[in-house]
Structure 1
Amino acid sequence: MLPPLPLALPDGQGREALDALYRFVAAIELTPAVAVHSQDRAGIVRFWNRACAKLFGVPAQQALGQPFASLVSHLEQQDEFDRSIAAIWSTLQAPPAREWHVQCLDGRRLWLHSSHFPVIGEGGAQQVFCMEMDISARKEIEGTLQQAALVFDNARDAILVMDRDYHVLAVNRAYTTMTGFHAHEIIGASLPSLRLGVQDQAFYDRILRHMDRHDHWEGELWSVRRDGAPFPIRASLSAIRDAQGEVTSYMALLSDITDRKRMEEEARRLAHHDPLTSLPNRVLFMDRLAQALAGNRRQHAEFALMFLDLDHFKAINDTHGHEAGDAVLQEVAVRLARCVRGVDTVSRLGGDEFVVLLTDIGGADQAAHVAATVMQSVARPVAAGGREISLSVSIGIALCPSDGQDAKTLLRHADVAMYHAKQNGRNEFCFFSPAMNAHVHERVQTENRLRRALANGEFVLDYLPEVDIASGRTVGVEALIRWRDPERGLLLPEQFIHAAEESGLIVPIGQWVLREACRQARQWRDQGYPMVVAVNLSNVQFIHNNLVHYVDEALQGSGLAPEYLDLEITEAVVMNSGSATRETIDALRGRGVQLTIDDFGTGFSSLTSLRLLPLSKLKIDRSFVDEITRAPDQAVMIPAIIAVARSLRLRVVAEGVETIEQLHYLRQHGCDEYQGHYAAMATGTPPLTSPHP
């Protein structure tokens, strides 16, 4: 719509300028591409062409005469726009064209490319015209491109963009970070010439042929960093086609898979290796054993299988803690590996059990030599838990093919031989022999009979009196277990206790002994015979985590006062008195239970250990008492033991007293109590007094 004519038309050049303006306005009135509007000094719209009406959504009749600012908002740039218009009025100069972000009355937001210029007449500027072009679509494309560029440059994966001839056009930041190359070193290079990997030209030729057929290739390969270090990558190469289906470029996505490969390798290692010692585990060992068996069948290659078990390892765990136990296992693993050849296999099956596969050996002599070397190596003390721990190992050896021609048989026979080594006193090696199977069968039978005996109540207790030497009165009894086996008759402890310890049945059997002994002692007390009952504890029982609980149950169940229960322990327990053992001893003494060292003098307990423990008595082993009459000159140990006990403020009990001469000797040297056949035999109903001269 044309602007209204001025009330007074100018003459001369002014009239000519105005005529030119109106010819220009008439020309752009119908121009669809450019929105043109004008405003006077007050900001009132004076011209508004059809393109303007379409662009802003406001018809001319509504726009004319209205403030331009009420029709179009320049948003956060409004103040800047107002200053720009004001500058035109004051300087009569047209500013450079620029872009503005505006909002229409209907809420639409547009990007405009705007040119403002003044129309000057007589007396100065008459109006300010503006020519506007909608560049919203271009801005959207630019924004998309900028966003794409940001995504490209900030992508976690390395990206290569290549032309249709596989020459690099662009790389992102992740690529330069991953490889160490600068972008200018890569751009323009061809795919095969890139140091993407250590593969040869034929490898890349196969990729390019695959791309020609499928437009995509994906796989793993080794790449090389700028410093020459190789590393694994996962590559995905894709063709990019235009609307006509023509390939315009290629894009490669590259991922550094070093960490993934490391985790995969660790997973494979853990699947076949023991996590504590890093030795081959059972799975890998069985595979190696299968290979050895196959070699034996093909080439008659003889090999040996060694089954190793650390002696008394549970005591190490219970005494020094599991961290110390783990440290011992790790050190043993290192030592075992040093004792064999690279072609041999050392494996940890679990716990303290190891197996060694000696391939292609020259015979039993070579296996024996390796076993002896292993025993010497393991015997060196191990520093763990803040102290040195002494070790020994029992080894069973089975030979292929003489002792078995399949994995199951060889492992079983090596295990049987190892058990035989333990039965022989531990710390030795044994070769398998068929006769050993009979011993294993007997052991299994004994364990089954022990379980039956426990269930059927076949165990009984006899009591051996402990007599005060000074008064001759019975002051206590020692509870001794017996087994009334329906098939074999009455069995003494030495005939079954070892089997009970090996099988773990000593724990429930020991619980029964505690309950029964406390019950009987309480019954005697109720009958007017208060006396202490002594119960022997094996090393296995003492290191059991629930010993204190079982003692509490026995005392509470019987109503016996704790001071009437005496628990006899061995010197081995004293020597292994770690934190757990000391806690057990302190807990028992804290309840008032007495503790006695049994068979003193036959072990290797130190005075320091004895001094630190809250003991009640020492028992002199019967072997020293026998020497009083058999070899008097050798009986000098008894006064020494009594002197030690006196220094520690402990009472002394002598075992195995059978003659009056022995009793006189003990009385002469200050022994407090004795027990043995001279006082009374062990029976279910012992005499509660025992007079003597």
Structure 2
Amino acid sequence: MKDLNLKLSGLKLYLLGYLLFSLTVFLMAYYFNVLFDNSQVFSSSFILNELSFIIILLIFGSVFLCHMLTLLVRNNKISDMLVQKTQCLIESNLALKEESKLKESALKQQQKSKNQYEKLFFNSPEGLFTLDSCAVITRFNPAFSSLLLDQTHNIHDLSLSDFIYSQEHIDTWQLDVIARKNYKEYEWLAKNQSGKSIWLRQSGHWIKNESVWTYEGQIVDITQSKLLREQLKYKTKHDGLTNLLNRDAFFKKINNLKGLNKGHYILLYIDLDRFKLINDTLGHVAGDKVLIEFAARMQFMLGSFSDIARLGGDEFAILMSEKSLNGNEIDLLINILREIQKTFKYLEHHINVTGSMGVRKFKTTCCNYDAEKLLHDADIAMQEAKRQGKNDFFIFSNQLTKKIKRKLHIETLLRELDPDLELSINFQPLYCKFDQNLIGFEALLRWDNDILGRINPDEFISIAEECGKITMLGKWVFDHALIFLEQQEAQSKNLFININVSPMQLQQTRFMSWLAKRVTNSALSINQIRIELTESAMIAKEETLIPHLNTIHELGIGIYIDDFGTGYSSLARIKKLPIDGIKIDRAFIENIETDNGAIQLVKAICAIAEAFNLSVTAEGIETQQQLNVLRHFYCHQFQGYFFSKPLTELQAINLIQSELGNLPKRA
């Protein structure tokens, strides 16, 4: 619109100029004629001449007008061009102004960013630095300086490698510098110019500006977090109480040996005997002190050449190379047991314990094993050491594996046992010393299984105690032994029955209640019923057994110690126990006719029994000579193959019937 108005204004000016020009010419001509020939002003010739002149003027004006129009068109084009150029110049000017503003803003922003960068660089809590292409430090901030530099030292021409402590880390860093590896993190132990060691985490990247390489990096002090991680890592591998390896870490140690050509190794499984008694009597704090002290002893004794672990509770394991023992493994095992026996002190208490140890040898070149299996084998060997009396070691063998498999088989059969179909009782007669007449029987449990045949009581009784079947067996044999004698009571009212019981049975309240009810309701007189406990079993459970033994004694049931002499009972113990008699173990009887030592020992046992007014039974008599010697001692009852082997129920009934006629005394 602005351009159109401009063009119309130009056209009006041209037309107005043309009219003014024509009028001026006409007026000039008119006045000229008037001036020179006033009389002809209004003549026809004058008018004709004037018209001609006007026509000429019109023609001239038209030409002039055309010329003016041409100039106008050209002027319009020039105006358009000028307008376009002006517009372009305006736009260019505006663009230049905008660009100038942007550049100015960019420069200001760049300067601001630079200032911010510098501020961040110097105020950053992280150590920032730059390196040249040779990894020489060119720039750093105060945080970097505080981590690695000493104000008294100059950093001129120092490389980052000058602060790295480990040569392995230096080699890794230098290789990465050559390769220009970007965005890689490093953790390395640094030694600053003050000599202090710290852990640093480094990260950064390489920048190439034209042909010049620069590294921009940062370092952060991770010493505390590194120590915390190491502590957590340590805790995941070690026992919290003793600081020994834990079970998982120990297993990894063993499994990591698999396939390595490092020879033979020994694995020890150690259990502290009767440790539960310490916790129960002195408390868990005392127990923990014993465990800590034991661990320290083992570390001092074995730590330089073995791996030691606490598996849990009072169970420990030790892994060592046979090569490190130089063939003295037996001596080492004995020394370990001796170390365990040394007194542990807690407050005013002096605590003495022993240890049972299982030994498992293995080769690392053999790949068909794992730590769990090896430790299981060592555990089996340790249990065997306990079974054989504790305070000892036992070396695992394939024969032991067979034994354990049989034990597990027997345990399974016990759980599936039908007592009335598989169990029976044999009765071994007991005879009076004075007239050698039958005075009673010892009930002996027998187990005949369809798969394993007859199983020895010495084998299955201990298994029954472990698997919880001893009470069932005890009730069965007690009940059936009483039934047997009750059925013979009409024929003989003076026979007694000795029944073997397990200390574990007597510690069970339900069994004791059942026993009291059973003997009370029996047709037998209470004094016809006696129980036998082995000396070793009674000693092992002495403190907990005494109240139960007192209860039985109050019922009127006789109490006898079987296999006396094998458990090393003291006089004080005999005096404390509510017992009625003892049975001398067959081991002291078998050579009594020729062994003067055996004679003196049996005589001493009999003297002790006489001093405490205890009845004495000599068992295991097999010859007339043995009987002749024993007649001169304080013995009241005899038992053994010389008189009779264990009898079936029918044989025992026949014996009772034959003995009722008072058979002649034996020679």
Confirm or deny that 1:397 pairs with 2:383: no
In the TM superposition, 1:141-156 aligns within 5 A as: none
Confirm or deny that 1:481 pairs with 2:445: yes
Partner of residue 55, structure 1: none
Given that residues 657 and 674 in structure 1 are in contact (C-alpha distance below 8 angstroms), is that contact kept between their aligned partners in structure 2?
A: yes
Corresponding residue SS for 2:593? helix
Q: Determine which structure has the larger strand proportion and give its number.
A: 1
One of 578, 585, 592 as aligned partner of 2:549: 585
1:414–1:632 Cα change, 3 Å = closer
Q: How far does residue 616 in structure 1 lie from its aligned partner after superposition?
A: 0.2
Q: Which has the larger radius of gyration?
A: 2
Given that residues 422 and 447 in structure 2 are in contact (C-alpha distance below 8 angstroms), is that contact kept between their aligned partners in structure 1?
A: yes
1:399 partner amino acid: F
Unaligned runs of 5+ in 1: 1-189, 193-199, 206-262
Partner of residue 225, structure 1: none
1:391 partner amino acid: T
Distance across 1 between alignment mates of 2:552 and 2:418? 26
Distance across 1 between alignment mates of 2:400 and 2:566? 31
What whole-Å deviation, never above 9, does each CA across 1:168-225 have from its counterpart, x for those lacking one? xxxxxxxxxxxxxxxxxxxxxx998xxxxxxx946999xxxxxxxxxxxxxxxxxxxx
Corresponding residue SS for 2:559? strand
Confirm or deny that 1:464 pairs with 2:454: no
Q: How far does residue 545 in structure 1 lie from its aligned partner after superposition?
A: 7.2
One of 399, 403, 418 as aligned partner of 2:382: 418
1:469–1:303 Cα change, 3 Å = closer
Q: TM-score, normalised by structure 2?
A: 0.55
Corresponding residue SS for 1:636? helix
Corresponding residue SS for 2:549? helix
Confirm or deny that 1:288 pairs with 2:250: yes
Given that residues 356 and 392 in structure 2 are in contact (C-alpha distance below 8 angstroms), is that contact kept between their aligned partners in structure 1?
A: yes
Distance across 1 between alignment mates of 2:323 and 2:518? 56
2:318 partner amino acid: V
1:527–1:440 Cα change, 3 Å = same
Partner of residue 566, structure 2: 602
Identity of matched residues, %:
26
Q: How far does residue 434 in structure 1 lie from its aligned partner after superposition?
A: 4.5
1:417–1:654 Cα change, 3 Å = closer
Distance across 2 between alignment mates of 1:655 and 1:318? 40
Q: How far does residue 647 in structure 1 lie from its aligned partner after superposition?
A: 0.8
One of 513, 536, 544 as aligned partner of 1:572: 536
Q: How far does residue 615 in structure 1 lie from its aligned partner after superposition?
A: 0.9
1:524–1:430 Cα change, 3 Å = same
Q: Give the count of matched residue pairs.
A: 442
Corresponding residue SS for 2:512? helix
1:308–1:269 Cα change, 3 Å = same
Corresponding residue SS for 1:484? strand
Distance across 1 between alignment mates of 2:531 and 2:633? 25
Given that residues 575 and 606 in structure 1 are in contact (C-alpha distance below 8 angstroms), is that contact kept between their aligned partners in structure 2?
A: no
In the TM superposition, 1:130-169 aligns within 5 A as: none
Confirm or deny that 1:618 pairs with 2:582: yes
Partner of residue 133, structure 2: none
How well do the aligned residues superpose, as a CA RMSD in angstroms?
4.7
Q: How far does residue 480 in structure 1 lie from its aligned partner after superposition?
A: 0.8
Confirm or deny that 1:340 pairs with 2:302: yes
Distance across 2 between alignment mates of 1:581 and 1:320? 17
One of 498, 520, 523 as aligned partner of 1:534: 498
Distance across 1 between alignment mates of 2:500 and 2:455? 17
Partner of residue 317, structure 2: 355
Given that residues 397 and 418 in structure 1 are in contact (C-alpha distance below 8 angstroms), is that contact kept between their aligned partners in structure 2?
A: no
What whole-Å deviation, never above 9, does each CA across 1:201-259 have from its counterpart, x for those lacking one? 46999xxxxxxxxxxxxxxxxxxxxxxxxxxxxxxxxxxxxxxxxxxxxxxxxxxxxxx
Q: How far does residue 535 in structure 1 lie from its aligned partner after superposition?
A: 2.0
Q: How far does residue 458 in structure 1 lie from its aligned partner after superposition?
A: 1.2
Q: How far does residue 620 in structure 1 lie from its aligned partner after superposition?
A: 1.6
Distance across 2 between alignment mates of 1:625 and 1:264? 69
Partner of residue 450, structure 1: 414
In the TM superposition, 1:509-548 aligns within 5 A as: 509-525=473-489, 528-538=492-502, 541=505, 548=512
Distance across 1 between alignment mates of 2:566 and 2:621? 17
What whole-Å deviation, never above 9, does each CA across 1:496-555 have from its counterpart, x for those lacking one? 445445655445433432333333344444655353322223455566676634633653
1:597–1:289 Cα change, 3 Å = same
Given that residues 539 and 572 in structure 1 are in contact (C-alpha distance below 8 angstroms), is that contact kept between their aligned partners in structure 2?
A: no
Given that residues 503 and 537 in structure 2 are in contact (C-alpha distance below 8 angstroms), is that contact kept between their aligned partners in structure 1?
A: yes
Partner of residue 307, structure 1: 269
1:668 partner amino acid: H
Given that residues 257 and 364 in structure 2 are in contact (C-alpha distance below 8 angstroms), is that contact kept between their aligned partners in structure 1?
A: no
Given that residues 320 and 578 in structure 1 are in contact (C-alpha distance below 8 angstroms), is that contact kept between their aligned partners in structure 2?
A: no
Given that residues 481 and 497 in structure 2 are in contact (C-alpha distance below 8 angstroms), is that contact kept between their aligned partners in structure 1?
A: yes
In the TM superposition, 1:159-308 aligns within 5 A as: 201=143, 278=242, 280=244, 284-294=246-256, 296=258, 303-308=265-270
Corresponding residue SS for 1:680? coil
1:353–1:535 Cα change, 3 Å = farther
In the TM superposition, 1:29-68 aligns within 5 A as: none
Confirm or deny that 1:645 pairs with 2:609: yes
Partner of residue 40, structure 2: none
Given that residues 539 and 567 in structure 2 are in contact (C-alpha distance below 8 angstroms), is that contact kept between their aligned partners in structure 1?
A: no
1:617 partner amino acid: G
What whole-Å deviation, never above 9, does each CA across 1:303-323 have from its counterpart, x for those lacking one? 543222345767x57997886
1:567 partner amino acid: I
Given that residues 320 and 579 in structure 1 are in contact (C-alpha distance below 8 angstroms), is that contact kept between their aligned partners in structure 2?
A: no
Corresponding residue SS for 2:646? coil
Confirm or deny that 1:376 pairs with 2:325: no
Distance across 1 between alignment mates of 2:524 and 2:275? 35
Distance across 2 between alignment mates of 1:562 and 1:679? 26
Corresponding residue SS for 1:629? coil
What whole-Å deviation, never above 9, does each CA across 1:26-82 have from its counterpart, x for those lacking one? xxxxxxxxxxxxxxxxxxxxxxxxxxxxxxxxxxxxxxxxxxxxxxxxxxxxxxxxx
Distance across 2 between alignment mates of 1:549 and 1:391? 36
Given that residues 396 and 416 in structure 1 are in contact (C-alpha distance below 8 angstroms), is that contact kept between their aligned partners in structure 2?
A: no
What whole-Å deviation, never above 9, does each CA across 1:442-482 have from its counterpart, x for those lacking one? 33223323333456641211111222223444333211111
Distance across 1 between alignment mates of 2:518 and 2:344? 39
What whole-Å deviation, never above 9, does each CA across 1:372-400 have from its counterpart, x for those lacking one? 33222224466799776552413222335
1:600–1:288 Cα change, 3 Å = closer
1:616–1:628 Cα change, 3 Å = same
Q: How far does residue 660 in structure 1 lie from its aligned partner after superposition?
A: 4.2
What whole-Å deviation, never above 9, does each CA across 1:102-155 have from its counterpart, x for those lacking one? xxxxxxxxxxxxxxxxxxxxxxxxxxxxxxxxxxxxxxxxxxxxxxxxxxxxxx
1:580–1:660 Cα change, 3 Å = same
Q: Determine which structure has the larger helix proportion and give its number.
A: 2
Distance across 1 between alignment mates of 2:263 and 2:642? 65
Unaligned runs of 5+ in 2: 1-122, 126-141, 148-227
Q: TM-score, normalised by structure 1?
A: 0.53
Distance across 2 between alignment mates of 1:191 and 1:549? 82
Given that residues 427 and 442 in structure 2 are in contact (C-alpha distance below 8 angstroms), is that contact kept between their aligned partners in structure 1?
A: yes
1:579 partner amino acid: E
What whole-Å deviation, never above 9, does each CA across 1:278-329 have from its counterpart, x for those lacking one? 4657xx3212321453355578586543222345767x57997886877766
